[in-house]
A = this chain, B = another copy of it.
Amino acid sequence: MPVAKPVMNPPFNIVRVSHVEFAVTDLEASRAFYVDCLGLHVTAESADRIYLRGIEERNHHSIVLVRAEKPVVRTMGFKVASEEDLDRAAFWFDEQGLRAEFVERPHQGRTLNAVDPLGMPIEFYFEMEQTSSMLQKYTHHRGARIQRIDHVNCFTPDVQVSHDFYTAVGFRVTEYTETEDPDPKLWAIWMHRKGNVHDLAFTNGRGPRLHHIGMWTATPLDILHICDVMATSGYLGNMERGPGRHGISNAFFLYVRDPDGHRVELFTSDYLTADPDMEPIRWTLRDPQRQTLWGHPAPRSWFEEGSFFEGTAVVEPVLEAQPIVAR
């Protein structure tokens, strides 16, 4: 079976996905999208940077917007359980022959910047400036009432390689998709650290590229409301897919694109996965309910477009199998 047993004592302890840094070409347009429309909260901002967080997040930021020439993803950040875990991580990357170096990041403690075997930029930290939760400041809930970052989802040219690497550092597979070959190959995986369906997912495709970040909302009605808001405030063209229900993860979802095309999933309704012996759920690639329980195929853009990681070359995927795409 291509899905490995979880590694219960990984070389270092990753708590969860924590933040993403998006380079954007028009910071004002991005601010309007993320703050005025989606309703994220601004923790800090300067002429060139905006730090955003969801309603329940006490961490300083889960999305960082940085003014730049090209719309790329600079990094995906993961929180580890202690300062010692950072040192263990540095040691482990070094052992693997993978680049990893400590860098300075505003509002974060020591931060280890690294690349995975396919060149995807990731960073680890333990400490981040804390700020106040907006959870019980209900007068400030706006837009989709986004509560927190939930996951990142990436195209990888080799799902098996990504699976093997992230399994080794402790991510556990909750659901996966195989090709329908006699000798099935991994086509997509959903992996977690924090105890729900995913912190990190990979899909076969030209990559590495970021497919989307997932932001969690408390109820499906928050997602229906943001559909209404976007459709009537100039953001109709930014609604790419949904609302709908994924078969995988049971998520109720909406996919939207920011002004630079970075994709954000608004997402709710998955389930607890804390049990280490929970058996991963297997889906086959052409099961139409895999993508959308209710049967709507995703548009082509959803399968093909993604954000580049800064400075990271993209290669063709190893698998040619194709999912069901809307005409």
Contacts and interface: CB of A to CB of B under 8 A. Distances in A.
Given A228-B293, A232-B293, A245-B231, A275 B15 contact: yes
A49 interface: no
Interface in A38-91: 56, 58-59, 79, 81-82
Interface string A232-245: 11001101000101
A22 interface: no
Interface in A274-319: 274-279, 289, 293-295
Contacts of A277: 126-127
A58 B148 CA distance: 26
B239 A138 contact: no
B276 A82 contact: yes
Interface in A216-273: 218-221, 224-225, 227-233, 236-237, 239, 243, 245, 247, 250, 252, 269, 271-272
A81 B10 CA distance: 14
Contacts of A243: 243
Q: How many copies does the complex hold?
A: 4
A236 B296 CA distance: 10
A110 interface: no
B231 A293 contact: yes
A126 B219 CA distance: 32
A37 B59 CA distance: 28
A233 B138 contact: yes
Classify chain A: how many residues form its interface, as a range: 35 or more
Contacts of A293: 136, 227-228, 231-232
Contacts of A193: 274
A150 to B, nearest CB: 9
Contact of A252 (B15, B224, B295): B224
Contacts of A247: 136
A227 B245 contact: yes
B250 A136 contact: yes
A221 B289 CA distance: 20
Contacts of A58: 275, 278-279
A139 interface: yes
A-B pairs with lowest CB-CB distance, top 5 = A138-B228, A56-B271, A194-B274, A138-B229, A195-B195
26 contacts: A8-B82, A15-B276, A16-B275, A58-B275, A58-B279, A59-B275, A79-B275, A82-B276, A127-B277, A133-B271, A135-B250, A137-B232, A138-B229, A138-B231, A147-B271, A148-B271, A194-B195, A218-B219, A218-B269, A219-B219, A220-B221, A220-B224, A228-B294, A231-B289, A232-B293, A236-B289
